[in-house]
Amino acid sequence: MVTRSDLLKGSSNSLLLSLLEQQPMYGYQIVKELEARSQGYFKFKEGTLYPALHRLEKSGLITGKWQMLPNGRQRRYYYITARGQAKLALEKSQLQDFLTAVKLILQPEPSGS
Amino acid sequence: MTPELIQYLESIRYKARLEHADETGVMSELEAHIEDKIHELTESGLTEAEALETCLGEMGNIKMVARQIYEAYSQGSWKQALLTSMPHLLFGLLFVLNWWHYPGWLSIVLILTLATTIYGWWHGKPTWVFSWLGYTLLPVLAVGIMLLYLPTIWSFLALLIYFPMALWWLFRIIVQTNKRDWLFSSLMLLPLPVIIGWYLAVSPSGRFTEDSLQRLDYFAPWIGLSFMALALTIAAFIRLRQRWIRVGLLTTSGLLTVALIVHYTAGRLNTLTFFGLVLVMWGVLLVPPLLECQLRTGRKISWRHRHLPAPRPE
């Protein structure tokens, strides 16, 4: 059986790229956004976010930059790259096809219509 | 920072085994995340202690987080794989192409090895430096062998002084290397049993004679091939992410290479020598982690405050 954590693991790259496509974010902000937008559905061990972000960065899909805040603290903001945007577009399209296929099976259109 | 938080971060830092350049950034990010989280939890009414407990629970256990960080950073590029396997390839080529006859080539390879090692050692000890470092042990071994040619009493005295000094130096190198990762100590020492095995095959008495040269000539292609096999192993090691597969690869490759030496020397190495070589190979694979355990238990936790990379001007 596919668990929620399996689903999250399988789509974590797309979710992270999708969030960063909208605006640059730092780690803690990503966790909060992911939780808020999925209404608590996507909740994972927060320490594992950074390895995922760093893998994406190493693949050239995102880039991280340290920024100084007015209060003197520093945060690392992540930005999606052009390569990341291309990858996200491809993954979105594949996911859309998959969801359409799943929907066709779960909610079959009445025959004869 | 509270002692629990220091302990948590220090344990992750220790287990993730990152290069110094990456380590500071990764640990600073985790620290900033935890501070944000604790701040938010205390704002919502939890005490400091409750907030810390909740926060660390939601961060995930140390082993899992450290393993994932390790795997995110462990895989080297193809360029790094080539650079790391280069000393094995060079020594392999020396024998496969019979260049070992020419002192010029030998000197070039040795000087190149020494220069590359010194450069890497003083430039942040990147992963590739450890395989080069292994071959800088060769001159130390060679000097030890040359001492055998002194008159008996002088030879005995020289060895009595030289061997403890050489072993102490090797111990210091292993300790320094273990600070990065004990696996790199094993990687560094991997050619040692192979070199000892071939040396015993060409000079069973321990002394290098005219006959040894002839045997060396005869075994040269196989010696070259065994170094090439090490080069392939190291290239694969650099490209792998998972730690346990890396350990398995070094173990299998080391033991197989020793078995191949015994096979190709067709009876020149007796059973006792074979088991001796296997023992040396196990030493190469087991001494560094055991040493690390010993050193770690005696080491106090030290958390250096972060020095972040300078922020980019916007």
Domain membership of residue B48 (yes or no) is yes
Tell me, yes or no, whether B194 and B268 share the same domain.
Answer: yes
Assess whether pLDDT exceeds 80 at residue A29: yes
Residue B249: how many other CB atoms lie within 10 Å: 15
Tell me, yes or no, whether B115 and B171 share the same domain.
Answer: yes
Last residue of a domain, one of B14, B43, B72: B72
Domain membership of residue B260 (yes or no) is yes
pTM given for the model: 0.81
Cβ–Cβ < 8 Å for B218, B100: no
Domain membership of residue B155 as a residue range? 76-297
Residue B233: how many other CB atoms lie within 10 Å: 21
Please enumerate in sequence order all residues whose Cβ is within 8 A of that of A35, keeping only pairs 6 or more positions apart, or say none.
A42, A43
Q: In the predicted model, what is the mean pLDDT of chain A?
A: 86
Assess whether pLDDT exceeds 60 at residue B299: no
Best probe of the B interface among A8, A54, A78, by most B CBs < 10 A, is A54
Half-sphere exposure of B80 (CA within 13 A, CB side): 16
Domain membership of residue B119 (yes or no) is yes
Tell me, yes or no, whether B64 and B80 share the same domain.
Answer: no
Residues β-bridged to residue A26: A77
Contact A47 B60 (CB under 8 A): yes
Assess whether pLDDT exceeds 80 at residue A2: no
Tell me, yes or no, whether B57 and B203 share the same domain.
Answer: no
Last residue of a domain, one of B51, B72, B93: B72
Tell me, yes or no, whether B27 and B159 share the same domain.
Answer: no
Residue B198: how many other CB atoms lie within 10 Å: 23
Report the percent of chain A where pLDDT is more than 90.
47
Which CATH number fits the domain A4-106, given the four candidates 3.30.420.40, 3.40.50.1370, 1.10.260.40, 1.10.10.10? 1.10.10.10
Best probe of the B interface among A29, A53, A58, A66, by most B CBs < 10 A, is A66
Contact B32 A75 (CB under 8 A): yes
Residues β-bridged to residue A80: A62
Sorting pLDDT into bands at 50, 70 and 90, what band is B81?
A: very high
Q: Which of A17-26, A55-64, B190-199, B299-308 has the lowest mean pLDDT?
A: B299-308
Among A46, A50, A65, beta carbon nearest to B58? A46
Sorting pLDDT into bands at 50, 70 and 90, what band is B19?
A: confident
Assess whether pLDDT exceeds 60 at residue B297: no
How many domains does chain B fold into? 2
Tell me, yes or no, whether B82 and B180 share the same domain.
Answer: yes
Sorting pLDDT into bands at 50, 70 and 90, what band is B94?
A: very high
Domain membership of residue B303 (yes or no) is no
B311 interaction partners in chain A (CB closer than 8 Å)? 65-68, 74
Domain membership of residue B94 (yes or no) is yes
Tell me, yes or no, whether B66 and B88 share the same domain.
Answer: no
Last residue of a domain, one of B72, B96, B127: B72
Tell me, yes or no, whether B140 and B196 share the same domain.
Answer: yes
From residue A98, give the alpha-carbon distance in Å to each of A90, A104, B98, B165.
12, 10, 59, 66
Kind and range of the H or E run holding A78: strand A74-80
Q: Which pLDDT does position B80 carry in this prediction?
A: 94
DSSP state of B46: -
Cβ–Cβ < 8 Å for A34, A41: no
Best probe of the A interface among B68, B73, B78, B314, by most A CBs < 10 A, is B68
Assess whether pLDDT exceeds 60 at residue B142: yes
Assess whether pLDDT exceeds 70 at residue B108: yes
Question: Chain A contact for B69, CB < 8 A?
Answer: yes
ipTM greater than cut 0.95: no
Assess whether pLDDT exceeds 70 at residue B298: no
Q: 3-class DSSP state for residue B309?
A: coil
Domain membership of residue B306 (yes or no) is no
B129: nearest Cα among B238, B239, B280: B238
Tell me, yes or no, whether B60 and B195 share the same domain.
Answer: no
Cβ–Cβ < 8 Å for B33, A28: yes
Sorting pLDDT into bands at 50, 70 and 90, what band is B301?
A: very low
B95: nearest Cα among B222, B283, B6: B222
Please give the average per-residue pLDDT across B278-287, as a whole number. Answer: 90
Q: Which pLDDT does position B296 carry in this prediction?
A: 67
Contact A55 B33 (CB under 8 A): no
Q: What is the pLDDT of residues B250-262, one digit of tens each?
A: 999 988 888 888 8
Tell me, yes or no, whether B191 and B45 share the same domain.
Answer: no
Domain membership of residue B24 (yes or no) is yes
Contact A65 B311 (CB under 8 A): yes
Annotated domain spans of chain A: 4-106
